Structures are given as C-alpha cells and as structure tokens.
Structure 1
Amino acid sequence: MTRAYRLDAPSGVVAQAFGAQHGPDPWGGGDLRPGEFAPVIVRSAKTSQRVIRPMVWGYPAPNSMTPSGEVQWVTTVRNVLSPFWIGNLRHVELRCLVPATSILQSKDDGVITPAPFLFTMAGIWRDLTDMPVFAVVSIDDNKTGKAGVPLILAGPQQQIWLTADWKEASRLLEPRDSSSTTCA
C-alpha cells in the first residue's frame, strides 16, 4: 500500500512530459503525503485537453474522524468492485494521472528506487464540497507476489485510462509481471 510518494519536478516539467497545461499550479517538487495537496493530471471538461490540477491526496473515509479531530484518508483503490469506488471508476471524467518520481511503500517495503524520469500512476478523483480529492489505483504484482502496488501507466496506457470506457480501461487493472511494466 502506498504511504507516500515523491514528485521531484516542478509543474512546468510535469506538464511538458505528459502533454498537459499547468496553469497557476505552484508545485516545485518534493514528498507527498495523505491529506496534502498534490498535482494530478485530469482532462478538461471543456476542451478535453490534459490539465494539471492541485488536489488533496485521499478520500475522507466514511465516519473516520479520529477523537483528536484528524481525518483518516483513504489513499488507495484496492477493490475496484467496491461500491465506494465503482462510480468514480466507471466515469471517464473522474479518472486522473498521478505523476511521480518514486514511491514509498509500507514501512517494511522501504523506498522503491527513484526513477531517473517521471512516471504516472492511475488515479481517480472527485470534487467534495470544499476541495477536490484523489486516490491512487492499485493492482497485484505477480512477479513479487505483492498486492496493492500502484498501477503505473506507460504512454498509450495513460490515454486509455483518461479516455476509454470502463470495459477497456479495466483491462489495465489485470495483475501483471512487474518486469513488463514500463514508465513513460
């Protein structure tokens, strides 16, 4: 399960790498943690062009406010058949790309070696009443036997994720051999 990730590139570089417009997003790079704003790539409802939009990483879990008043964030989509997620997944306009340069897994797994390039993870998002939020979609990695690893999308897969109907996009969720996963 993803606990944090890094994006060591400013918005302009991310926009250029993934064919997006970055507008006023001030992202300069660094660690990203649940409950914090991060840049994600969505398709504009008006123009269908890719746009970088700052959103909070994690959906507030239902009835999950701690006694101290902190929100517990659901950051990863692990069960794509769950009623909690399926509505977002089936609506193409609610899918997004989450740019990154490295991923921090669970405490036992440590850090995946940072990539010398940018890559994107599949995500979903929605507007809550006061802020947009997103979660990273995960799959099973057959090579390592690990469940819940982020779904990394290569070039053509990114476009499928952002534009295809659910039947086609859901094929990207099939467990895979991690050696066959490439980054763009």
Structure 2
Amino acid sequence: MCNRYRLTATQAEIAATFGIRPPYEPDETYPAPDIFPTGKKTPFYGQVVIQDGADRKIERMEWGVTTQVPSKRDASVKLTKYVTNVRNLSSSFWRSMLTTPARRCLVPVTAFSEFGIAPGEDRKKPLHWFHVPSRPIFAFAGIWRPTERGNAYGFLTTEPNAIVAPIYPKAMPVVLHDDDYDRWLSAPWDDLKGLVAPYPSQLMGLG
C-alpha cells in the first residue's frame, strides 16, 4: 500500500507534461514535495489533473476518499475512513467513479515509496523510493469524488512488478504510460481494464 509519494516538479513542468495551459495556481498554494494521506482533523492535500470540458486543469484535493465503516466495538456506529488506494475494482463504492470519465484523474508523481517487509538493524522497516528514470514526472491512474470537506482522490493499485515485489509483495500503484493519459480521462471503463497492470520493472529505478 503506497501511503507516501513525492512531487518535486514545478507547476510549469507539470503543466507542460500534461498539456495544461495557463492560467493555473502558483506553486506556493500546493504542498511540500512529500505527500501523505489526509487526516481526520488536519486535511492534507496533493494535486491531480482532471479533464474540464476540452481542457485539462490542475486541482488541489485531499488524498483519501471518505467512506463509512462500522465500528469494531459497536457495528451500529459508523466511522469515517479515508481510502487512499483503490484495489477492489468490483466494489460498488468505486464503480461509479471508475465508469464516469469525469471522475477519473491523473495523479502527478516524481517518486513513490514503500516500506520493506524486513526490519533493519535499528528494528525499523526501511523506506524505499521508486522512480521512472526516463520520465521525470509520471502519473498514477486516479479517481476522485466530492466530499463534505471538498474534493478527494485516490489511485488504483495492482500486483507488484519484479522491482517492487521483493520490498512490498502485496501491491503497487497503477502507473500509466504517457500514451494512455487521454484514454484514462475519456474512454469507457471496459476499454481501460487492461491498464490496471504492473508497470514494466525494467523501466523503473530504485533509490
């Protein structure tokens, strides 16, 4: 489960990568390079690329889509959970977002992290960073929806590839190829299921 990623690019670099035309919000309105899941009391934000009619735009959203889950102590009590990673694509909760192109987004990334499964000498699990050397800025396949606190997003995960699996064998984010950006933002969901696949490990770097 990816719960920390990085975006070190400038607004101009992001705009150029994803075909966004000015005006767009200045850099200082966005978070620090390391992006973490939103909190119940303190919202945390990332930025996503959405399709707005004929144009794309960058929007600031919380990373974590809200859902209600029963309390372990009392099933009649509902608790708010912030879901960052989308794995169960057959769930009715995600289906409305997946099947609605306007609810899909691109999540710009320069690197993402996973904790290793084995503790180091300090008894802490080491944090590993993954990147795509040939693509300084790449994108996760994301979805978003309005919430009571504003718009929120998550991104899809899939089976890990050969470079991620030894460190985190459960899953990795769905990294889109550049040629698939337009499709992700506009095509019918049934035509996109093949994109939910591990990114080629030979194209990724570690460290």
TM over 0.5: yes
Shift, 1:61, TM fit:
3.3
Name stretches of at least 5 consecutive residues in structure 2 with no aligned partner.
39-43, 72-78, 118-125
Shift, 1:115, TM fit:
4.5
Contact 2:174-2:199 within 8 A present in 1 as well:
no
Name stretches of at least 5 consecutive residues in structure 1 with no aligned partner.
none
Q: Which whole-Å CA distance do the structure 1 matches of 2:144 and 2:183 have between them?
A: 16
Q: Which whole-Å CA distance do the structure 1 matches of 2:100 and 2:204 have between them?
A: 25
Query: Secondary structure at 2:128's aligned position in 1?
Result: coil
2:139 maps to what in 1?
Answer: 120
Query: Secondary structure at 2:96's aligned position in 1?
Result: helix
Match of 2:128 among 94, 111, 115: 111
Contact 2:101-2:187 within 8 A present in 1 as well:
yes
1:82 maps to what in 2?
Answer: 91
Matches within 5 A, 1:15-94: 15-21=15-21, 23-24=24-25, 26-27=29-30, 29-35=32-38, 36-44=44-52, 47-63=53-69, 72-94=81-103
Query: Secondary structure at 1:141's aligned position in 2?
Result: coil
Contact 1:7-1:100 within 8 A present in 2 as well:
yes
Amino acid across the alignment from 1:2: C
Correspondence 1:157 to 2:180: yes
Q: Normalising by structure 1, what TM-score? A: 0.83
Q: Which whole-Å CA distance do the structure 2 matches of 1:106 and 1:147 have between them?
A: 12
Larger-gyration structure (1/2): 2
Shift, 1:147, TM fit:
3.3
What do residues 46-82 of structure 1 show as CA deviations (whole Å, max 9, x unaligned)?
x3311100000011231479xxxx9642100011111
Q: Normalising by structure 2, what TM-score? A: 0.75
2:108 maps to what in 1?
Answer: 99
Q: Which whole-Å CA distance do the structure 2 matches of 1:40 and 1:163 have between them?
A: 16
What do residues 71-95 of structure 1 show as CA deviations (whole Å, max 9, x unaligned)?
6421000111111211110111100
Amino acid across the alignment from 1:164: A
